Structures are given as C-alpha cells and as structure tokens.
Structure 1
Amino acid sequence: MSFYFRSEEMQLVQLLIKQETAYPLIKSLGQLSAIQFLDLNAGKPNILRDYHNDVKKFDKLERTVRKFEAVTIGLPEPPKDANYLLQSEDNDNIENGSIDAIEEEILENSIKLNDLVENEQNLKRRWFELIEFQHNLETVKKYLKDKAFNQDKNSNSSSSSGSGSDSTSSELNANKLNSDEDLIELDEFKKDKTNNDKEQSTKIDQKKIEAIDSTNIYDQYLKFSIVTGTISTESRGRVEKLLWRGTKGNAYVSFWDITDPIYNPVKKQNEFRTVFVVYYSGDFLRNRITKIVESFNAKVFNVASTDEERKEQLDDVKTQLSDLKTTLSQTKVFMNKFQKFLQVRIIPWYRRILIEKATYHTLNMLSKDSNKQYLVAKGWVRLSKLESFREVINGDEDEFGENGTILNTLDNEEGLIEPTYIDCKEYQESTQKLVSSFFIPKYREINPAPIMLVTFPFLFSVMFSDLGHGILLTLFALFLFKTYDAYKVSHLHSLIQMFYDARHLILTMGISSCFIGIMYNEFFAAPMHLFNSCWEPDKNSTLSYNLRYEHCTYPFGVDPEWANKSNWLIFFNSFKMKNAVVFGFFQVTLGMIIALINCIYKKKYLEIFFDVIPRIIVLFASTGYMCFLIIYKWGIDWSTRKGQEGGIKIITTLIDLAFGFGKVDDDSAFFYNQESLQKTLVAFIFIGIIVLWFALPIIKFFQMRRKNKLYTLGEIEYEDFEKFKSKYTGFTDLFVNQSIIAMEFALGILSNTASYTRLWALSLSHSELSAIFWDKLIMYPLSTNVPGFLVITFFFWVGFTLFVLMMSEGLSAFLHTLRLHWIEFFSKFVDDENGIEFRPFSFKLSFQNNSEFEDEI
C-alpha cells in the first residue's frame, strides 16, 4: 500500500563495465527496464562522445524506415503484430541478425524504392503531357476545319503560304478582319501607308485608301502563324491581357476549356487546363509570345500545319497513350507488391533500429575510469528491481566476460535528486495523468492521485447532481468498457482515445452523480417519490402543508414536496451553498494533512511547528468554526427555542467573530458559553498568523549567526558551511518571502471558501436548465392535448439534454472540478519545487516515444 500513495524507494548504484562487454550488458538492461542512467558526460558535446557516429548511423536508418512507412500509407492495415507475416528465417535475421546486414538490406530497398518512385513519376509526367497534347491536337484540328482556315478556301486572290511544323499560313475572311478583335489594326496600317506615300512624293486620294479591300491588304502584307498549347484555366484572363500588351495588339488568342480535370504529377492534384491558340504575323513575335505563355507554366506544343500531318500526330499520341497506360498499370502492380513487402518489415526493422539506437545513446552517457579499462555508469534502480538487476549484472559469464561487471551501491552523498516512480494501476491512470499535468510529486511524498479517485467524482457529482443524467453518464462509461477491446486494436482520434483512457473515472463520476441525484431528489429535474413524504397539503388551504406526524423525517435525501412549495428555490439555494462550503473545508483540510505527513516523513520539524500547524490552527478556527455552525444549525429544531424560532443567521455570527473579537449577543447565541469559545478562536487566529509570519525568518537568522560562529571557531568544515550558506538569502529576503506566504494564506482562506461556492452555483444552474427543458418541452405539450406536439418536443428535449446538459454542462463541471483540485487542493501541499519522473532505460519506452533518443547536433 505504501507504493500506492508514495513513490517507490530508489537505490543509487555504480557500474564498472569492461568495454568489450558494455554493448551486450546495456542491451540486456534495456529489456529489464530497471535503471535510470545518469549522464556522466553532461557537459560534453555530442560530437565528441565515443558512440556519436553510431547514433547518427541509426538516425539515418530510422529516417529511411519512416520513408518506407510514408509510402505504405493508404494500404490496408496489417495485423498489429506483423512479424508473423515474415518467414521465420527472415524474422530471426531482423530480430537477432547482424545489424550491418540489416543496414545493407534497408539501403538496398531504399535505392529500389527511389528508382520505382522516380520511374512512376516520369511515366505519370509523360502521361500528363500526352493527354494535354491530345486535347491540343483535337481542339486545333476541329477549329481549323470549322473556321475554314485551310488555304484552298475563302481566297479571293492568289497568296503565298509558308509551311512549318509549328505554324500555319492562312487567309482571313473580310468579316473576321472587320470585327472588334482584329489581329492588325487597319488604322495604323493606313497611317503607315499614307506616310510612305508622302515620302515618295506621291499623293493618293484619302478616299481611295479607305476603299482598299481588306483581303488584299492581308494577302500582300501578312502571313499568319500560330502558337498553341495548354495552360491552367485560372491563368487565361491574365495571359490574354499580357499578350495584348506585350504584342501591342498584334496578336489574337482563343481559348477552349478542357471539360475534365487532368492529374498534374508535379502539383500532385487534379487541375483544370485550357487549350490556347495565339495568332500572330512575323517571326519576331514568336519568341515574345512563347516567353509570355511559358511564364504562366504553359506547355507549348509543335502542331503540324496540315490536316494530314495533324491526324498522324493524333494517331501517334493515342498509340503512345495506350502503351503508356499498360506500362503504368504494370508499374502500379509491381509498386503495390513492393509496398506490401516493405509494410510487413517496417515494424521489425523499426524495433531493431530503436533498440540499437537506444543502446548506443546510453553508452554515450557512460564515462571512462582513470585507466581507461572500464566504462563507469551511475543510475537509480527501483528497490524492488534491485535483485533482478543483480542477476543480470552477475549472470552469464560467457556473455559478459570472465570478470563480469562490478556493481556498487552508493549513498546519495552528492545530494542528487531522487526520481519519482509511482506504481500506477489501470484504474488510477486517469487521475494520475491529471496530477502529472500539474506537478510531479517529489520523491517519497504523498501522491494525491489515489485520493482523487474519490474526491474528483464526488465534487463533480455535486455540480452534476441529477439521477437521470448520472444514469446516462454511467451507461456511456459501460459502453466504453464494452468496446474497449475493439478500441485497443484500432487507431482512433486522440479525443476519442481520451474518453477510453478515462473510462474508470467516467464510471465513478456517473455513479456519484446518481448518488447525489438521489440525495437532491432530482430525476431530469423532476422530484421522485421514493418514500412517503412527511408533508401533506392542508385541507383548509391550497398553499399550506402540514406534517403527517410529529418529528417526521424523510428517510434519505430531500423531501419531494419541497418542489411544490413557493420557497423551494430559497431552500435549495441555502442548502446547496452550505453543502458546498462544508465539502470545500474537508478537502482543504485533507490537503493540509498531506502537507503535515510529508513534513513528518522528511523530518522538517521547523516547517511542522512554525508553518503547517499554524496554518491548520487558523483554518480550523475560521472556516472550520463556520462549518461547525452550519452542521450544528442543521441539527436544531428551532421551533422549540423561544425567541429564535426563525433560526440564527450564521453570517451575523461570523461578522461578530471578525469585527467584534468574538462578542456574542444572548439573542444570537447558538449554544451556552459561545462567546468564550469565539474569543479563544480569535486568539488562536491571531497567534497563528503571528507565528506563521515571524517565526521562521527569526529562527533561520539565529541559525545563520550560530553557523558563522562555529565556522569562525573551526568547529565546522568549509564545505558544510558553504552548503548551508547557499540556502540562506539574508534576513530581509526571508522576512519578505514569509510575509508574502502568510498574507497569501490569510487571503486564501476567504478565496477558497468563495471558490468552493461554485459547487452550489453550477448545481443550481444545472438543475434550473434541466427544469426549464422538462417543463417547456415535456410538461407543457402534455397540458395542451395537441396530437403529435409531444412527439416533436420530445426530440428537442432529447437533443437539449444530450448536447446542452450532458456535454456542455458536463464539460463545465469537469473543468471546475479540475480547477478546485489544481488550485485549492494542491496549493496546500505543493511547493515551487517539482519532482523528477523516473524514466528507466527501457526499449518499451523507446518504442512509445523515441524522440528522447534523438541525437542533438
């Protein structure tokens, strides 16, 4: 049981290992998971450590295996233990074979994978280009035929035609040239023609120039060529504008969108492409047009000038596509087989690499003795594992050498911080993670996680106080238990995994909510008549109730007839608020008790008598007395006390305690001799604050003076004096620090009491929301007698219950419960110093999180 509430005891050990046996010994210790090695080369750069190159080699192999893992994404998941898919001989070679052979095999498969990937990318890139070329040929062929750009049509006069593999000369009809999209502006041509005539001193009538037939102008001066290709559909508008500006209007471009998207292997996504054809005249424009379209990642194709040649090109492209499709299909099949081959070897390879990497990383933490014959190792070993550790060290002489390894147990004379190891059971994991998120308990201190197994669900249920909602939460927890086995072999989202990990905590939260729901007598906000009520309606008044018999008491929880009284909200407010304060006091007291036990174990007697005990006295004299009055008031039948039939307000008594120094009027006294008790409590509060404020600084100041005197007389050594002096910061610093602690504690008594009232506030809000949904969506439709209305509102009620009350309110109650533990509870025994988690050298931990073994360069 001591391991349950405290961390396990540790033993500091030293190992002297022969260099030739260091590797197999460290590897055996990694399987034992018993020792946490200390880095004896902490100030030494990694590059200067003996096994730095080995760690880097396995880093490279690990990255290679991760690359294998990346290319197998999308394949069906292999069984969790993929080793059985290998032949037994192959498996033995990976698990126990030579690491050099494994390295060679991994690198060979890496080269093979790179070749396959590169070949597949080249084939896909070629397929992409051919598909675009095919669309380009089909579009240009169709356009030239439909628009009659052939040289034997629409010719009014003889014209010469140039031919080439990437251009075509043609004549335009008059209607096309006279449109708003002329390729050559006729006005500029007329102007140039007029100027030339003037230079030759030949006067031509302006009307004759205007009457020049446009087809004759193109026949004499222009030979049109084209640049064609494909471009991204998104870029067509910018290309058109830039071509117009870049050619000063001397080019005309047409676009035809390709209907289906085409997979782009460079961008690794589907892309919509557009075929473009640019018409121009003059070879000097071709380079400019080509540069413009290529700046938008366009692909320019060489299209033949005649229909026959284009048809031959199209047939050739289709043939190449057919052959390429077959090649791609075969490549995909071969790639899939190779991926499956890699997939079943990734886990064994990965395990072996991590084992080797962790082993050499640990060897880098060892130092050499003065004679450089032994490697020296130090570390912490769990006391329960010490015998097993000895057996491994002194085990097989054939494996570790004739002289074996020397094991020495050491005392912690250097003041090293002992690591904390907590034997965490499965049902404790959820609360232990909540504790570890806030702090790590120091060595041999009380671990609050087992206590939270009770306090966390209980405080949650006080805020989530409804039997119906508690049943739903319990059923959800049972569902998590039922499906847990299926969850373990599947990969789920981290949020879903969090619910499965907390299934034990959720179950206890649901059961506690059911208990508090019965105590508050709420089932989806409706009162439950589990027992006979002690109240019955008055026959003479519809608003009054009478006791069924004298001194009647409802067996358990709140009497259901309270829900029918006009003052039920006032009653529940007072009842839940006082409950919250009492629960908070008990939890804060528990935190103070933990602080006291920790100090007793560490033998910190000054802190016990001048810090912890004064805190407990002040807490009990203030908040404890208030809780005592609350419980005492509940047990009094005020109808039997003359002059006090309505009861005494506790707030009045507390105000008199604080500002009247304990003075009590006879009419407001709860019990006999109350004033004497309250004056005693005020004295205890005053003395406790004074002791907490001044005692420790004064005592430590005189301790320092005494140490100085003993050191001057030579009665203590220099090392002991310096060690003590390093912890002393001067009287002023001690006093200021202790003043802050005392004031924080005094104010914390008030703030803690106010903070725990959230138990009342959230419980009341949860109850009110539930009551509103029940009255408006269930009870009101029943009173209307409208057919089908209840069916509709019932589904709304289910939705609001699940999403608002269960999820939203449940999450709010969980976070507030977590806050009460982290701040109000933990602050009573957690100081600024944090413990160190025990992380042994373990291959199992390396498989879970290998980032800690990364080589820092």
Structure 2
Amino acid sequence: MGSLLRSEEMSLCQLFLQSEAAYLCVAELGELGLVQFRDLNPDVNAFQRKFVLEVRRCDEMERKLRVLEKEIKKDEIPISDMGDIPDAPLPREMIELETTFEKLENELKEVNSNAEALKKTYLELTELKHILKKTQQFFDEIAPDFPPLLTSLPTSMSYRTLYEADCESQISQIQETGMGDESTQLLGEEGLRAGGQAQMKLGFLAGVILRERLPAFERMLWRVCLGNVFLRQAEIEKPLEDPVTGDNVYKSVFIIFFQGEQLKSRVKKICEGFRATLYPCPETAADRREMIAGVVARIDELNTVLKQTTEHRHRVLVAAAKHIKNWIIKVRKIKAIYLTLNMFNLDLTRKCLIAECWCPVDDMERIHIALRRGTDRSGSSVPSILNRMDTKEIPPTFNRTNKYTQGFQNLVNAYGVAAYREINPAPFTIITFPFLFAVMFGDAGHGLLMTLIALWMVLKEQGIAVQAKSNEIFNTFFGGRYLILLMGIFSIYTGLIYNDIFSKSLNLFGSSWRASPLPKEGLYKESMMLDPQRQFSGSPYWFGMDPIWQVSGNKILFLNSYKMKLSVLLGVGQMVFGIVLGFYNHRYFNNRLNILCEFVPQIIFLLSIFGYLNILILSKWISYDSSKSGCAPSLLITLINMFLYKYPDAPCSLAPMYWGQQFFQTVLLMVAIACVPWMLCIKPYFLKKQNDARRMAALNFNNSENYNGEGEVSVSMENADTQVTGGLGHDAEFDLADIIIHQIIHTIECCLGSISHTASYLRLWALSLAHAQLSEVLWNMVLRIGLTGEKIAGGFTMYFIFAAWACLTVAVLLLMEGLSAFLHALRLHWVEFQSKFYKGDGYIFQPFSFEVILSTDNEEIS
C-alpha cells in the first residue's frame, strides 16, 4: 500500500561504465526501463557530441527503412508480425544492417528506374498506336472541312487544288476591293500564284495532350495562328498510366493542319507550352499500317519485360516485408542507445563513461543485475559501478501502474504530477470518481449500455489495441476502458437506488403504498392523493426508491429534496477526507506547524458549519415523519439564522430541533470564527520565531568556532548557518511579508472555499435531475409515439421510432450527458477534493525505456 499511496522512493546515482561495455549496459537498462538519465552535457551542441556519427548513421538507416516501408504499403503487401520484440543488436551488427539496407535500396532503385523507363516507353508506344489509328480517320474527313469556304468541293479533290482555289479567291478579292488580309496584300497577285505553285500540299503535326488542357490549347492555337490552322481531335477511351506518379490520366489525340514553316514553328511552341507530346506520323496509309504493326509488336515485348520486372520487384518487397518490423525496432533501439550515451561524460584518464541517473530504491538490485549482464555480454573484465549520491534536488515522481490503474493515474496527472512522496489521489479516485459520476448519471438502463461497451473493449482489448492507434478519439476511449467500465457499473447501482431505468421504474418487491379502495361505480380517478399516515405500510421499499414515485405528481419535489441533501452529505464527506489526507502529508514530512496551523483549524471550521449541517440532515430524516411534516424545519433557513443569530419563536418550522440548539450553534459559530485568525496569524508568528532562533544559533555557533585559539578561521558564517538550519536556507531567504501575504490568501481560500466547494457539490443534484428529465422527455416525446400504433402499420412505425429513440439515447444521453457528467466529476476531484491536500507541483519520472520509445514512435507514425 505504501508504493500505491505514495510515489516510489528515488535515489540519485552515479554510474561508471567502461567504454567497451557502455553500449550493452545501456541496452540492458533500456530493456529494464527503471533508470532516468540526466544530461551531463547541456551546453554541448548535438553535432559536437561523441556519438553524433552513429546517430547520423541510424538516421540514414531509418530513412531507407521508411522508403522501403512506403514501397511495401504501395504494393499492398502485408507486413509480417514480428512476434517477440528483438533485443538491441550488438554494435558490430550495425554494419551488417547498413550493408543490407544499402543493398536493398540500390536494388529497389534500379528496379524502379527500369520499370519507370519501361512504362515511359510503353506509354509512348501506346500513344503512338492511338495516333496512327486515329490519323486515317482525320485524313478521310479533312477534305470536305478545309478550308471552310470550300465545303462544297468533293472529297477527292487534292490539297493542291484546294490551295490553288483559295489563292484564286484571294486574288479576286484584291482585284475587286483592293483589300485583303495583311499577308495577301504584301504578296500580291504574283506572290500568291507563285506560292501556290511552290506549296503543293498542307503540313500537319500529330500528338497527344491531357484532356483537361484541350479547350485552352485549341483557343491558343486559334488566337496565335489567327485562325489559319485546322485542328481535329479524338478522345482516348481508356485511361493511361503515368510512369512517374502511377496515376491514371485521360488524354486526347489531335492533328493540326497548317501551311508554311512559320505556322509550323508557332504550333510547335504552343504544343511545348501545353506539354503536348508530338509523334511522327507517315503521310501515306501504307506507311501508317506498317508502323502500327511494328508498334504493336514492340508493345507485346514490353508487356513481357514489364511483367518480369514487376514480379522481381514484388519478390524483393515480399522478402523485405518479413523482416522490416524487426529492422525498424533494431535501428530505433540502436539510435536510442547512442542518444543516451551522448548524455554521458567521458573520462579519458579512466577510459570510462560517467552518467548520473534517478533510480527507484526498491529496484536497485535489478539495476545491478542488468549492469552485470551487460558487462558480461561485452566481455569486459572491469565491472560497472553504481554509487548512490547525496543531493538536495527534488527527485522525480514515480507511481507504479498497470493497465487497470493507468487510466485513473492519467486523470490525476492531467491536473498536475504529485510532488515527491506526496499522497497520490489515484487509489481513492478509482472508487470516488466513478461513484460521483454515477450519482449524476443514475440510470440503470444507460449504465448497462455503457458497461456493455466497456466490457467489449476490455475483453477484446488485444485485437482492438492495434486498430485504436489509428483513431485518436477512439484511442482516448479505449485507454479509459476500465474507467468507463466502473462508471457503467456504478451507474447501474445508483440507477437501481433511484429506481430509474430508461426513465421507468421496476416494482420488484411490491410498493409500500396502498391505493384507496375501489369506488362502487366506475374506475379510479385520474389522480388521487395518498395519505402517508393511512396508506403507507410503515416499512420502506426494500431497495431504492418506491416505484410509486414514478407516477406521482410531486416526484420532482421529492427527488429534488432527496438528491440535494445527498449531494451535501457526499460533498462534505469527501472534503473532510481530503483534509484528513492533508494531515497525513504533514505528518509524513514532519511539518508539525502545518498540522497545528492548517489542518486543525481547517477541519474545525468545516465541521463546525457543514459537518453540523450534515448532522441536521440526518437528524431530520430520522426524526420527522408524516405526522410531524408540518413542523419540519428548513435546514437552509436554520443555517442562515445560525449566522445571523436569529431564533424566532414562530412558526413551528423555525422552532429548535432539539434542546440547547441555540447555545450549541452559538458555540459552533464562535469556534468557526476563531479559526480565521488562527489560520491567519499563528503560522507567520511561529515562522518568525523559528527564523530568529536559527539566526541566533548560527551567530553563537560562529562566535564559538570561528576562532580556534591559533588565530585561524575554521568555519565560515555560511557553513555554520547551513549546519544549524539543516539546509533550510539563510535568514536572507526569509521574507515575512511574503509569508503573511501567502497566509492571507490561504486563509481566504480555505474559508470561502469551504462554502463555495460545498455549493459546488450541488452539481450532483442538478446533473442527476437533468439526466432524469431528458430521459423522460425522450421516452414520452419519441418512443411513446411508436407505442400508439396498431396492427402492421404500428409495427413499421415502431421499427423506425425505436431506431430514432436508440440513436438519440446513444448520442444525447450516453455521449453528451455522459461527457457532461464526466467533466463535472473531474472538476469535483481536481478542485474540491484535491485542493485540500494535493500540490501537484512535481515532475514525472521518465525512464529510459525501449517499450516507451517504441510505443511513442508507433503513435507518431500512425
């Protein structure tokens, strides 16, 4: 219980490792995971440390493994499970791993480059095949379409005839109007005729372009060439594979007809700008058919070579997939070891490495065994030395956990890590947190659903753990599966106490109320008043609430009073428990002044007011039955009158509950008021007296030892003060003003906090009421609609209504309301409970552990 109630006792140790044994000793400590090393070279740059070259080699190996893993996942090759986690490899194995990874990377690069070149050639041949097939259609269709002015010409007319006819048309235009385009006016009639004789046919270019670029490509051709080119295009139906990215792309074949070298140059530049690929295309049909045959033959050969290349690449990746997990773990362990060795100091005279580390005292023997094992594996004849050091530094906080307690410890650490050897709230949170949650979430039906979900995660945790890492939200729920399981179980318990199951109740033991006799004629009235003096059996319902309250009109009034008083009882009880835990902290650290000036007045102040209120609540429940209900006192008014010192004679509800109430309440009030100056003044006074006594003792010690009879100074004032004060500090460190201000804040926080924290626990009542009302509204407004249907139509209606009700139950009541109750329970523990004894200003123990390093790396990768 000691290790569970408080953090482990820690010790600062100095470690001497021989150079040849340092690597394996650190590896053994990494497997053990119980040593936190300190960086002894905080001012040394990371690139100037001793093992920086080894770390860089590990980085390079990690890079190669990431590339290899990416290629394996790209081909959807399953990665084999590694089985047992391999140990950290020996230093000489690092060279073997580097050689293996280098060989794999080079082989994979060569295969990929060959495959990319083959795919590029295959793509070009495929595009050329489509061009050759589409070209004949273009040539067959071009004659009646070019130029547009001569659409009536027969298709058998040659390009020479077309061109000559176009020239004659332009000559006629010059002769009749004296106008024409710029080129026509410059050339004149003779130039056109000469050109017509020289240019016997049209030129053309054929190629392939991405389909989405085709509209812009066509517009650019038209604008730059002034409409003097003719473009035909056709889509390639099947997508083509990009040899670089591997993505499927859609392309189109085009052919451009033009006239003259100037237009040809422009067209080529436009094709280059739009990244269109141009291919040679024969002019005659026979040459095109011959080229198609050759292209198809080459494509068949490429398919065979590509298949062989792909199979070889697949074999390489399959072989690598069997070992890649082990390789990754080995490289990460090597890198972690060298990063840790970089934190050590090098003693050149002794040829050893010196380290400092925090270790749990109870595990010192296990650490010694690990060091001996590492030294034996290295073959060193000089043993490693571990010495405990005296230090005034505050050690880290180390709380041992397992998979059950880890979730609760994380809740506490999220607020703040406990100070060294401070009481750990996690063991108490295991019970109090799910119970307070269940008080607000008290519904046995919803609690059962929550329990089943958590039970599924607990029973299937090994299979779910792998999938949970890829989803951060689900991983959060999975990490708190045991917490959710207890929350569900406690919700079932409180739901049975409230007798609330999906806003309905169960009558398991028979109601303690008897209905009025049946009237002589007709049925019972729609509502009736039950008299507790005549129609109550006298013995309460055996367990929980009587089911009759579910159908009563004053259910909310009754439950409100019950849950509100229950909240105050639970809240004051938990706060008193927190103050008692603070007493154990003070006693453990031998701080008697805090016991006298903090614990005693705090517990008296809280019990004088709210402890007394709890007694009144229990007394009222016991003493006042239905016969005395008319004179039952209002506890809130009683408490207010206690502070105002008012004791009216009438009415009877304000009369004293017991003999001597006024005197007893006056004493309690005076005691509570006296606690305020007690907390405010006594502690600063005693601290001032202690500081004066220390100063006087240090001065006397200095006067008696400073002169040794021979005129030599033996002990300085500083050392004398340290010896007398026991390391508590010099008188210059004592600031009375700061202490007084701190004590004023602490007193105000204690007094006002006792009131505000007690009121804060009323959220238990408010959240419970809200959950019950939401559940009832959901039943009456949704599910009740499905229950009113009849026959087949009613069955279909009930099917859809039940689905809607189930979805709303899970989304609103389980998730939203559950999260709300969770956050309120968290606040009650962090603020109202832990503030009574918990500082939370420590720092967590972070040992060098391969398990932690590997799990952290896996989370970052996922």
Partner of residue 597, structure 1 = 584
Matched, 1:115 2:110: yes
Give the aligned partner of residue 633 of structure 2: 648
User: Match of 1:815?
Assistant: 823
Q: Match for residue 757 of structure 1?
A: 762
SS at structure 2 position matched to 1:603: coil
Matched AA of 1:416 = E
2:285 aligns with 307
* Alignment-mate amino acid for residue 580 of structure 2: I
Q: Cα offset for 1:697?
A: 4.8
Q: Does 1:366 align with 2:348?
A: no
Distance 2:322 2:744 in 1: 65
Looking at structure 1, the residues matched to 23 and 570 of structure 2 have their Cα atoms a distance apart, in angstroms, of 57
1:683 counterpart residue number: 670
> What's the CA shift string for 1:255-274, capped at 9, x where partnerless?
43333333324344222223
Q: Does 1:830 align with 2:845?
A: no
Residues 430-445 of structure 1 mapped to structure 2, 5 A cutoff: 430-445=407-422
TM-score scaled to structure 1, two decimals? 0.84
Q: Does 1:578 align with 2:568?
A: no
Report the Cα distance in structure 2 between the residues aligned to 1:296 and 1:708, rounded to whole angstroms: 89
Aligned position for 1:204: none
Q: Distance in 2 between matches of 1:243 and 1:193?
A: 18
Query: 1:228, 1:278 within 8 Å by CA — same for their partners in 2?
Result: yes
- Shift in CA distance, 717/665, structure 1 to aligned 2, threshold 3 Å: farther
Amino acid at match of 2:850: F
Q: How many residues align?
A: 812
Paired residues of 1:40 and 1:365 also in contact (CA < 8 A): yes
Q: Paired residue for 1:5?
A: 5
Q: Is the 8 A contact 1:224 1:280 kept in 2?
A: yes
Cross-structure match for 2:333:
355
1:843 aligns with 2:850: yes
For 2:734 and 2:247, the matched residues in 1 are separated by 66
| Structure 2: gaps spanning 5 or more residues | 147-152, 171-175, 520-524, 703-715
Tell whether the 8 Å contact from 1:537 to 1:546 is kept in structure 2 after alignment.
Answer: no
2:304 is aligned with 1:326: yes
Counterpart of 1:476 in structure 2 is 453
Q: CA deviation at 1:681?
A: 3.3
CA distance in 2, matches of 1:222, 1:627: 114
Distance 1:531 1:316, change over 3 A: same
Deviates more, 1:232-241 or 1:449-458: 232-241
Please state how far the C-alpha of 1:521 moved relative to its aligned partner: 0.7
**Matched residue of 1:426: which SS?**
coil
2:814 counterpart of 1:806: yes
The whole-number CA distance in structure 2 between the counterparts of 1:235 and 1:747 is 74
Q: How far did residue 532 of structure 1 move? A: 2.0
Residue matched to 2:529: 544
1:294 and 2:280 matched: no
Cα distance change of structure 1 residues 780 and 112 upon mapping to structure 2, 3 Å threshold? closer
Cα distance in 1 between the residues matched to 2:377 and 2:821: 62
Tell me the CA shift for residue 297 of structure 1. 3.1
Which has the larger displacement, 334-343 or 778-787? Answer: 778-787
Look up the SS of the partner of 2:414 in the other structure. Answer: helix
Q: Which residue of 2 aligns with 1:262?
A: 240
- Displacement of 1:485 after TM fit? 4.2
Q: Which residue of 2 aligns with 1:49?
A: 49
**Which position in structure 1 is the counterpart of 2:217?**
239
Does residue 789 of structure 1 match 2:794? yes
Of residues 446-455 and 302-311 in structure 1, the stretch that sits farther from structure 2 once superposed is: 302-311
Could you give the per-residue CA deviations for residues 274-333 of structure 1, whole angstroms, max 9, x where no partner exists? 333334333223333333333333323333333233333333332232222222221221
Note the 1:212-291 alignment, pairs <5 A.
224-291=202-269
Please give the alpha-carbon distance, in whole angstroms, between the structure 1 residues aligned to 2:460 and 2:444: 24
Change (3 A) 1:433 1:40: same
Match of 1:15 in 2: 15
Kindly provide the amino acid, as one letter, of the partner of residue 449 in structure 2.
L
Deviations 1:552-605 (A, max 9, x none): 322221111112221112222222233233323333333333333223222233
Structure 1 residues 92-101 or 277-286, which shifts more?
92-101
Summarize deviations over 1:619-673 as a string: whole Å, max 9, x none: 33344333333333222225444xx615222222233344x15767674233333
How far 1:232 sits from its partner (Å)? 2.6
Partner Cα separation in structure 1 for residue 667 and residue 164 of structure 2? 115
Cα-Cα RMSD = 3.9
| Matched position secondary structure for 1:13 | strand
Deviation at 1:344, TM superposition (A): 1.5
Kept in 1, the 8 Å contact 2:138–2:255? The answer is no
Distance 2:742 2:290 in 1: 93
Q: Is the 8 A contact 1:95 1:348 kept in 2?
A: no
- Mapped partners of 2:204, 2:212: distance in 1: 22
Aligned partner of residue 24 in structure 1, secondary structure:
helix
Do 1:149 and 1:172's aligned partners in 2 also have CA atoms closer than 8 Å?
Answer: no
The letter for the 2-side match of 1:190 is G
The corresponding residue for 1:183 is: none
Q: C-alpha distance in 2, partners of 1:599/1:440?
A: 18
Question: What is the one-letter code of the residue matched to 1:470?
Answer: G
Question: Match of 2:772?
Answer: 767
Q: Distance in 1 between the 2:746 and 2:177 partners?
A: 94
Cα distance in structure 2, aligned partners of 1:132 and 1:158: 27
Paired residues of 1:226 and 1:278 also in contact (CA < 8 A): yes
Residues 432-462 of structure 1, C-alpha deviations (whole Å, 9 max, x = no match): 2222333222222222222121112112211
* Counterpart check, 1:616 vs 2:607: no
Query: Pick from 429, 440, 446: which aligns with 2:406?
Result: 429
Distance change >3 Å, CA 227–CA 822, structure 1 → 2: farther
User: Alpha-carbon deviation of 1:750?
Assistant: 4.1
* Structure 2 CA distance for aligned equivalents of residues 804 and 157 of structure 1: 80
3-state SS of 1:833 partner: coil
Change (3 A) 1:391 1:220: closer
CA distance in 2, matches of 1:187, 1:92: 96
Aligned match of 1:535:
513
Preserved CA contact (<8 Å) 2:80 2:322: no
Map of 1:164 onto structure 2: none
Tell me how far 1:510 sits from its aligned partner: 1.8
Cα offset for 1:747? 4.1
1:77 lines up with 2:78 in the alignment: yes
1:198/1:140 CA distance change after superposition, 3 Å: closer
Question: Following the alignment from structure 1 to structure 2, what is the Cα–Cα distance between the partners of residues 680 and 662?
Answer: 14
Q: Which runs of 5+ in 1 are unaligned?
A: 85-90, 161-169, 179-185, 201-211
In structure 1, the partner of 2:522 is none
Q: Deviations over 1:16-42 (max 9, x none)?
A: 233333333333333333322222222
Classify 1:112/1:198 alpha carbon distance in 2 versus 1 (closer, same or farther; 3 Å): closer
- AA of the residue aligned to 1:81: M
The yes-or-no answer on 1:190 pairing with 2:172 is no
Aligned to 1:206: none
Q: CA deviation at 1:851?
A: 9.6
Call closer, same or farther: CA 1:307–1:557 in 2, change over 3 Å: same
Q: 1:278 to 1:655 in 2, by over 3 A?
A: farther
Structure 1 contact 41–365 (Cα < 8 Å) conserved: yes
Structure 1 range deviating more: 362-371 or 778-787: 778-787
Q: Which moved more, 1:150-159 or 1:528-537?
A: 150-159
Amino acid in structure 2 at the alignment position of 1:146? E
The one-letter amino acid paired with 1:11 is: S
Aligned to 1:408: 387
Q: Deviations over 1:203-241 (max 9, x none)?
A: xxxxxxxxx9xx999888896433332333322333333
- Judging changes above 3 Å, is the alpha-carbon distance between structure 1 residues 134 and 580 closer, same or farther for their aligned structure 2 residues? farther
SS in 2 for 1:427: coil
Give the match's secondary structure for 1:277: strand
CA separation of 1:25 and 1:147: change in aligned 2, threshold 3 A: same
How far the C-alpha of 1:549 sits from its partner, in A, is 4.8
Distance 1:684 1:418 in 2: 41
Point out the more displaced range, 619-628 or 703-712: 703-712
**Does 1:449 pair with 2:434?**
no
Cα pair 1:83 1:344 within 8 Å, conserved: no
Distance 1:508 1:852, change over 3 A: closer
CA gap 1:246/1:229 in 2 versus in 1, 3 angstroms: same
Match of 2:395 in 1: 418
* SS of residue in 2 equivalent to 1:57: helix
Match of 1:165 in 2: none
The alpha carbon displacement at 1:725 in A equals 5.3
